[in-house]
Amino acid sequence: MNTLLDPLAVSMPDVQSGPDMRGISIQRVGVRGVRYPLRLAADANPSRQVVADWEMTVALSAADKGTHMSRFIEVLESWRETPLSAEGFCRMARAVYERLGVESADVSARFPYFLEKAAPVSGLRSLMDYQVVWTARAARGAPARFSQHVRVPVTSLCPCSKAISDYGAHNQRSHVLVRLEYGSPVAADLDALIRGVETRASAELWGLLKREDEKFVTERAYENPKFVEDLVRDVAVLVRRLPGVASYEVEAENFESIHNHSAYAIVISANAQ
């Protein structure tokens, strides 16, 4: 029999499954920079599909030489058509550690998230985009851990500028980054979190505004000035009242319109890791 033509007769060694003699464990090993679809579950709307940047890793014991990289993509493919909530995302992370036969696995997906918003006066509808990161850790004998990061762009108007000027005040676009770790993924409500952060700013942003909307937004910001310190504190008050939040970080950066630098602040809960 010609073994070159008969794959059943060819023995293919599994080098990665061999032992390692150096006695060094690896905390995380896997794949990153994987672009793959993510179908998001929605309670009231049809599920939405986005393209996410994935990082998938497992813990490797000191005795194991390597992990099986192809199996990460196998799991992604098997879950590709499943609409995922935060709870479902944790189940997928558990599927990773079970498929690779390890003690723990970490799965992270970074993706754009869109909300439809109505302009404040004209009512015209358009989409706003937000950057979101979901991370789940599944470990043998322990409940899954889930964290959610979201970057919310808003407007901030300087209280000092308003106080010292005869008319007008400088304002800027700001980014609020909220990082939450939940005691249970069931408590994670991304839409409510975004909406809550926007209400704490001088004014929120929209994708589409007409003149009457622009007038409203300008005046709204003027009547609601916020320092960067005010912004992070107000959002921190919001998130520490949310159900199921185990720890949080709130970060704000104001891209100053009268300086070539940013104003920055961060609040970190005492129990944040």
Domains and CATH numbers, the chain: 27-268 (3.10.270.10)
Statement: residue 4 has pLDDT above 70: no
Can you give the pLDDT at residue 45?
A: 58
Can you give the pLDDT at residue 149?
A: 97
> Rounded distance, CA 151 to CA 149, Å?
7
What average pLDDT score do residues 55-70 get?
90
Residue 1's pLDDT band, with cuts at 50, 70 and 90, is very low
Residue 116's pLDDT band, with cuts at 50, 70 and 90, is very high
> Rounded distance, CA 24 to CA 7, Å?
36
pLDDT tens digits for range 14-62: 666 677 778 899 999 999 999 999 999 876 556 689 999 999 999 988 8
Residue 270's pLDDT band, with cuts at 50, 70 and 90, is confident
Nearest CA-CA partner of 152 in 85, 31, 234 = 234
Can you give the pLDDT at residue 14?
A: 64
Residue 153's pLDDT band, with cuts at 50, 70 and 90, is very high
